[in-house]
Structure 1
Amino acid sequence: MKTGTIVKVSGPLVVAEGMRDANMFDVVRVSDKHLIGEIIEMHGDKASIQVYEETSGLGPGEEVISTGMPMSVELGPGLVSTIYDGIQRPLEKLYEASGTNIQKGIEVKSLDREKKWKFEPKKINGDAVEAGDVIGIVQETAVVVCKIMVPYGLKGTIKEIYVGEFTVEETVCVVTDEKGKDVAVTMMQKWPVRRERPYKIKKTPDSLLVTGQRVVDTFFPITKGGVAAIPGPFGSGKTVTQHQLAKWADADIVVYIGCGERGNEMTDVLNEFPELKDPRTGESLMQRTVLIANTSDMPVAAREASIYTGITIAEFFRDMGYSVALMADSTSRWAEALREMSGRLEEMPGEEGYPAYLGSRLAQFYERAGRVVSLGSEERVGTLTAIGAVSPPGGDTSEPVSQATLRIVKVFWGLDASLAYKRHFPAINWLSSYSLYQDRVDEWADINVHPDFSEHRTEAMLLLQTEAELQEIVQLVGVDSLSHSDRLILETTRSIREDFLHQNSFHEVDTYTSLHKQYRMLKLILTFYHEAQTAIKAGVHIQKITKMDVIERIGRAKYVEELNVDKSYDEIESNIIKEITDLISKGADEL
């Protein structure tokens, strides 16, 4: 053990001397209170330590002990449906040990050491194995099977493999490595959080991550293994949007990191997720969710760790071949923690006081997402999708965190305060948002949803862009100056905005929309547009078209349950054609 002595305390930053033998990123125990810290800078024998707990009461002369190990997470059965703090301490166990206020220096194991898990072997004695091979499985929750893999760096032959119930520390398999040494394998692995978990190959993400949110899936899609950012001002709905994505995304595992956000938002997640039914499995959503809560009242240094803790847990499930969705809410609070620690280290500040390495740290985080072929002799493809919320002060996306994030991510869902004030949610601005995965998703959707899917999406997007141009004319000279066909565009885009893009996350039917229903909804609106165009060419006045009874039915179509979509929408489409035909024939009679 390497010991040192505190010479300076500055908030969460502690400087200790006599630490020459310690290494960067070693975990240390500070003072007789055993506060957890991590070495973030070395100068000679002086080490700067960021402490993940409250440092009030610390003073010079107190002892610092280095564990000689980097900050690591415990990976194994028991992660799913648990809520952790930023350094992977289970909050439920902390509550049992110390009550509502977390005591300083309290030590709680991340994975339950007493619980026994039923281990089913998938290999037999004499099998050759290498790092990443699945030697057995554990039914972790009703919907998640935890695959027990050979740890990184181990290759050899199975000498013995057991069956039965074991704790995470008990040996389930003995592997004779290439040097002839017997290595005991348990169900638990440890992995340093700042190091990316290895894989064989990184592939191009090509399939859509279905979220059930119409504005996302149809207009600004994200792929499985993609990266996205949700920047927006206070009150524009970042957190609710992330909650929606966490609830309904087509992912096997969801890792939700509440980084520096309000405590009541994490409480909402805790209260809602166990009660919500997963549309794919019918079980509680909590059965496939890992929560990391590092709220704004917790020590600022732990925010920095929480992001890495979350993504390492996500990588572990990705290595099993699962599709994982990671929500980070929000990376701005994490960047603020970086800025505070950088200031206390007296580093040269960059733009707006953020450290010069802000961009590279953000890139290191987002680059850990992707679609990869996992290690092991059998090919497993896993995906890790990272979605980060950004909270720019005053909604100004020209600030450093937003700009650094935009240089890295491929999907930008720009939340707009003016849309939020109009109660249009999700308040994603369709003119400023974009997705660089669009071409790949168009190909995928045309094959998997409907051959016309991308054509309809392109036409609807073009109409929305035309509307923005027409609105400028309307503001100058009024709506009456527009031609009938231009006024029809305004009526159609009103329907796209209010009936398609607007989605009520608290309505039991409207909260989630399948891709088939999204296609049919858009087709309804465009059928109305095309038929009405024919009527205008035949001389029908625009006011008669806007007063058609079927328009109200188009507006209510989003509340039709999935089972009745085809029958109900076919009926509405035939009503559109019938009413338009009636208008044309009446127009002809009048002539």
Structure 2
Amino acid sequence: MNSNSKRTGSLISIQDSLVKARFFENVIMGETAEILVEGKFLQAEVLQVASDPKNAKAGIVEMQVFEDLTGAKIGDLVVFKGKALSVLLGPGLLTSIWDGLQNALYPLSEQDSYLKPGMKAPALDEEKLWDFTPSVKPGDSVCGGQVIGSVPEGRFDHKILVPFDFGKCKVHTIIESSRVNITQTVALVIDEHGKEHELKLVFSHPVKSPIPFMQRSIPNKTISTGVRVIDLLAPVAYGGTVGNPGPFGAGKTVMQHTLCKYALADIIIMAACGERAGEAVEVFKDFAELADPSTGESLMNRMCIFGNTSSMPVAAREASVFIALTVGEYYRYQGYNVILLADSTSRWAQALRERSGRQGDIPGPEAFPMDIPDQIKGMYQRAGADTASGGSLTFIGTVSPAGGNFQEPVTQATMDSTGGFWGLSQDRADAKKYPAIDPLVYTNSVYDSFISKEDREQIVKTLQEANDIDQTISTIGLKKVPVEKYVLYQKGQTIDFCVLQQDAFHELDACTRPERLQIINKAVQKLIETPIHFSNGEGEDEELKEQIKTEFDRLRLWWKDWNSNAKSETELASLPEQIEHFVLQEQYA
């Protein structure tokens, strides 16, 4: 979608971020436009095109505006750009922080302390020099998506690609190995119609047109996230999808920080698509100072962040998600494993609801658009693994249901669209349990774990039985619970306290890799499977239960200490040994 002619219109209606304009030349659905408001151009996107009932020679276009329209008035000039909402792809994406329209935030901050409508900044550094090495020569045939060279981007090899919408072309000229910036031409190609095209290190791609897979495959390789409850009971594979719902204050942001630091992926993309401004600012400040535990380098060297907060216009929330998705697809095409964290898809859906209401569409449940399940599914379907490139895009979307109600439409549609689900519990969060993922409620996964399915089922069964006994104790009291049931309850409490909970701020306990996880699972299975016979002579049941609790408390303290300190092979092996002594009720240290 490109047009060199200048096509204009004028505003005839303004309703918050939704406007209408009259035009007299061709306008295309989905193209971008700019509205001149008080000397500044504000970016918009065409949603609908219709005939003008008052003027047969004119048409009416409906647009959503991505910036604050304060000061706009009827008659303001509209300039149609002739291209779809696009993202600039190329070297320099990593380490960058943008707003929801890919304006670089740090250069914007140099213009003004506050983000104001109409402010613009280059998406990528136009002065930085990159060491370009060509991989094709004059006379070679190339097509869209093919590699013509590469530049080093930190520790990554960034491939320079022919834009994906190009057909078959022939390389006319290409520069030799040299240092160039993103504004310089590196190659000249000629298409089948004899038209010349200049290729640079960067190119634009429409954000609502998915970058194609080379060879799509079913996600089957499990990601080590470092979070025990996830890797044990609700794992995610490279190229998989996960919904992460939870009420406010349940720990979604802390979990995202943990995943950014410890998930074994090449690249992490954060899309703050409507997150509260204070939390987004905290991310911008903290991540620039954090070290990547895997490399010792700055964590930002493998990250990029879109900071589109809840204080920004709702239309920009939708744009930020699609821009982030396209960047993720771009790096997947390059052969890298990418994790996209979107926070929060609820506010993205709320933006759709507001736009739909202003357009007068028939509302669905809770006034969301009727097609909200299809829109959510379409978003998650852009994730996936690519066998040919070796890359993957894993999409983890947080959901913020009002009042923690998992039955609301966005959460339900997310559950239907994703392969994994990490439901956060307000009760567990209030009890200071981190992560507050409830293993018994809305927590599931279609992906393989690092441990067997049978072991996973055994753990969940034990936790469920322990939870049922806990309910019984709360209802009729401890005295009515048989000793053997009380032992089972204590086993479940031990698994919950020592395995499912972690210290996100402890250097060792914050991250558990598969080898360590398998040792923990071995100990857990031994604890679950083996009957434990406690003896209290001729004492009363109450005394025996107190003794049982004391013994399990000692075990839990020892296990917690092991989580925080065991590093060597000998120290790691001591956990299964300790459990062996415990279940046999032998003396142990």
Match of 2:501 in 1: 502
User: In the alignment, is the contact (CA less than 8 A) between 1:536 and 1:542 conserved in 2?
Assistant: no
Residues 1:458 and 2:457 aligned together: yes
Residues 529 and 552 (structure 1 numbering): CA distance in 2 closer, same or farther, change over 3 Å?
A: farther
- The separation in 1 between residues aligned to 2:13 and 2:560, in whole angstroms, is 65
Q: What do residues 334-362 of structure 1 show as CA deviations (whole Å, max 9, x unaligned)?
A: 11111111222222222211122222221
User: In the alignment, is the contact (CA less than 8 A) between 1:495 and 1:525 conserved in 2?
Assistant: no
Q: Percent identity?
A: 34
Listed as ranges, the gaps of 5+ residues in structure 1 are 374-378, 447-452, 586-591
- The separation in 1 between residues aligned to 2:306 and 2:7, in whole angstroms, is 31
User: In the alignment, is the contact (CA less than 8 A) between 2:143 and 2:169 conserved in 1?
Assistant: yes
Residues 467 and 580 (structure 1 numbering): CA distance in 2 closer, same or farther, change over 3 Å?
A: closer
Match of 2:74 in 1: 60
For 1:183-198, what aligned pairs fall within 5 Å after superposition?
Answer: 183-198=197-212
- The separation in 1 between residues aligned to 2:138 and 2:558, in whole angstroms, is 65
1:370 corresponds, among 384, 407, 429, to: 384
Match of 2:437 in 1: 428
User: In the alignment, is the contact (CA less than 8 A) between 1:27 and 1:37 conserved in 2?
Assistant: yes
- The separation in 2 between residues aligned to 1:349 and 1:580, in whole angstroms, is 59
Match of 1:399 in 2: 408
Match of 2:119 in 1: 106
Match of 1:588 in 2: none
- The separation in 2 between residues aligned to 1:324 and 1:372, in whole angstroms, is 12
Q: What do residues 139-186 of structure 1 show as CA deviations (whole Å, max 9, x unaligned)?
A: 122x33321122222434444332111111222233344455554321
Deviation (angstroms), 1:303: 1.0
Residues 1:14 and 2:34 aligned together: no
- The separation in 2 between residues aligned to 1:489 and 1:148, in whole angstroms, is 59
Residues 475 and 296 (structure 1 numbering): CA distance in 2 closer, same or farther, change over 3 Å?
A: same
Aligned partner letter, 1:483: P
2:359 corresponds, among 345, 348, 353, to: 345
Aligned partner letter, 2:490: E
TM-score of the superposed pair, with normalisation by structure 2: 0.90
Equivalences, count: 565
Residues 1:138 and 2:143 aligned together: no
- The separation in 1 between residues aligned to 2:423 and 2:47, in whole angstroms, is 34
- The separation in 1 between residues aligned to 2:106 and 2:141, in whole angstroms, is 40
Q: What do residues 419-466 of structure 1 show as CA deviations (whole Å, max 9, x unaligned)?
A: 11111111111111333324xx14xx35xxxxxx54433322221121
Deviation (angstroms), 1:482: 2.9
- The separation in 2 between residues aligned to 1:481 and 1:158, in whole angstroms, is 83
For 1:18-167, what aligned pairs fall within 5 Å after superposition?
Answer: 18=23, 20-31=25-36, 32-44=39-51, 45-97=59-111, 99-141=112-154, 143-152=155-164, 153-162=166-175, 163-167=177-181
- The separation in 2 between residues aligned to 1:217 and 1:486, in whole angstroms, is 28
Q: Secondary structure at the match of 2:460?
A: helix
User: In the alignment, is the contact (CA less than 8 A) between 2:519 and 2:573 conserved in 1?
Assistant: no
Deviation (angstroms), 1:26: 1.2
Deviation (angstroms), 1:555: 2.5
Listed as ranges, the gaps of 5+ residues in structure 2 are 1-5, 52-58, 539-543
Residues 1:569 and 2:572 aligned together: yes
- The separation in 1 between residues aligned to 2:513 and 2:439, in whole angstroms, is 20
- The separation in 2 between residues aligned to 1:405 and 1:34, in whole angstroms, is 36
Aligned partner letter, 1:390: V
- The separation in 1 between residues aligned to 2:304 and 2:428, in whole angstroms, is 32
Q: What do residues 6-53 of structure 1 show as CA deviations (whole Å, max 9, x unaligned)?
A: 111111111111255111111111024211111112221111111111
Aligned partner letter, 2:159: K
Q: What do residues 522-560 of structure 1 show as CA deviations (whole Å, max 9, x unaligned)?
A: 3234334445x2545999966555434544212322112
Aligned partner letter, 1:109: P
Q: Secondary structure at the match of 1:171?
A: coil
Residues 396 and 580 (structure 1 numbering): CA distance in 2 closer, same or farther, change over 3 Å?
A: closer
Aligned partner letter, 2:129: K
Residues 284 and 429 (structure 1 numbering): CA distance in 2 closer, same or farther, change over 3 Å?
A: same
Match of 2:419 in 1: 410
Deviation (angstroms), 1:574: 3.2
Residues 502 and 264 (structure 1 numbering): CA distance in 2 closer, same or farther, change over 3 Å?
A: same
TM-score of the superposed pair, with normalisation by structure 1: 0.90
CA RMSD of aligned residues (A): 2.4
- The separation in 2 between residues aligned to 1:5 and 1:274, in whole angstroms, is 43
For 1:252-291, what aligned pairs fall within 5 Å after superposition?
Answer: 252-291=266-305
Q: Secondary structure at the match of 1:230?
A: strand
User: In the alignment, is the contact (CA less than 8 A) between 1:121 and 1:161 conserved in 2?
Assistant: yes
2:8 corresponds, among 3, 20, 26, to: 3
Residues 58 and 218 (structure 1 numbering): CA distance in 2 closer, same or farther, change over 3 Å?
A: same
Residues 273 and 111 (structure 1 numbering): CA distance in 2 closer, same or farther, change over 3 Å?
A: same
- The separation in 2 between residues aligned to 1:19 and 1:546, in whole angstroms, is 81
Q: Secondary structure at the match of 2:110?
A: helix
- The separation in 1 between residues aligned to 2:438 and 2:585, in whole angstroms, is 37
Match of 2:394 in 1: 385
Residues 177 and 396 (structure 1 numbering): CA distance in 2 closer, same or farther, change over 3 Å?
A: same
User: In the alignment, is the contact (CA less than 8 A) between 1:521 and 1:558 conserved in 2?
Assistant: no
Q: What do residues 552-581 of structure 1 show as CA deviations (whole Å, max 9, x unaligned)?
A: 2123221125x42x3113234434444655
2:255 corresponds, among 241, 257, 273, to: 241
- The separation in 2 between residues aligned to 1:66 and 1:132, in whole angstroms, is 28
- The separation in 2 between residues aligned to 1:40 and 1:407, in whole angstroms, is 27
Q: Secondary structure at the match of 1:381?
A: coil
Q: Secondary structure at the match of 2:520?
A: helix
- The separation in 2 between residues aligned to 1:582 and 1:22, in whole angstroms, is 80
Match of 1:450 in 2: none
Q: Secondary structure at the match of 2:417?
A: coil
User: In the alignment, is the contact (CA less than 8 A) between 2:520 and 2:575 conserved in 1?
Assistant: no
Residues 46 and 492 (structure 1 numbering): CA distance in 2 closer, same or farther, change over 3 Å?
A: same
Q: What do residues 252-306 of structure 1 show as CA deviations (whole Å, max 9, x unaligned)?
A: 1111011111122122222222222223222111001010001111122111111
- The separation in 1 between residues aligned to 2:535 and 2:216, in whole angstroms, is 53
Match of 1:212 in 2: 226
Deviation (angstroms), 1:72: 0.6
Match of 1:226 in 2: 240
Deviation (angstroms), 1:81: 0.7
User: In the alignment, is the contact (CA less than 8 A) between 2:18 and 2:62 conserved in 1?
Assistant: yes
